Amino acid sequence: MLVYRFFSPLQFFYTMKKLLLATALCLMAVAAFSQTTTKTAQIRKLLELSGSGKMGVMMMDNLLPALKNLAPDAPADFWEEVQKEVHPEDIVELVVPIYDKYYTEEDIRQLIVFYESPVGQKMVAQMPAVMQESMAVGQEWGREIAEKVISRLEEKGYKKH
């Protein structure tokens, strides 16, 4: 056999073993990368279906009036520039690794099935109104708690009027 001119049978065995091991490792790496890429794509699809990027923009739209109060003299074009810099895909890219950390590929698949269902689509459609009302209720609740705490601090003499 021609191979034996260059390798002893034992050397040939170990060389082939190393080649097979290297090939197996490469195939496993490709499979893992493919699975990660697939999972990442599935997470992006889930975030799109659930409207997460749009929710980020909505949060920014709610934050903008408060920011404008910090600089009431800033011209309108300044705020237009700020709004142009807010992109839904930015929040999606920040959230993908978090979903990857906490959800399996099967979890993501099931969530996609949910968000593609009529009730999932209804949830996405109603979420902006639900969030807006929830934020208003939360702000009122927080204001009431703050008033009680301030009142109690004043009663006990910890805070002066």
Q: Is the pLDDT of residue 121 over 90?
A: yes
Higher pLDDT, 34 or 86: 86
Residues 24, 28: Cα–Cα separation, whole Å: 6
Which range among 9-13, 94-98, 115-119, 150-154 shows the weakest confidence by mean pLDDT? Answer: 9-13
Residues 61, 39: Cα–Cα separation, whole Å: 30
Higher pLDDT, 15 or 67: 67
Give domain limits for the chain: 3-116, 127-161
Reported as a single tens digit per residue, the pLDDT across 40-59 is: 999 999 999 998 877 777 77
Tell me the pLDDT band of 1, cut-offs 50, 70 and 90.
Answer: very low
Which tokens is 84 given? Answer: 């142009």
Percent of the chain scoring above 90 in pLDDT:
40
Measured CA angle at 103 (ends 98, 107), to 5 deg: 145
Please give the radius of gyration of the chain, using alpha carbons only, rounded to the nearest integer: 29
Q: What is the pLDDT of residue 53?
A: 72
What is the value of pTM for the model shown? 0.61
CB 123 within 8 A of CB 49: no
Minimal CA–CA distance to 86: which of 132, 53, 43?
53
89 to 7, 57, 62, 92, 96: CA distances (angstroms):
56, 10, 18, 5, 10
Which tokens is 127 given? Answer: 């979420």
The angle that helices 52-70 and 118-155 make with each other, rounded to 10 degrees, is: 30
Minimal CA–CA distance to 52: which of 107, 112, 138?
112
Question: Across the chain, what does the average pLDDT equal?
Answer: 81
Tell me, rounded to whole angstroms, the distance of Cα 97 from its chain centroid. Answer: 6
Residues 136, 16: Cα–Cα separation, whole Å: 69
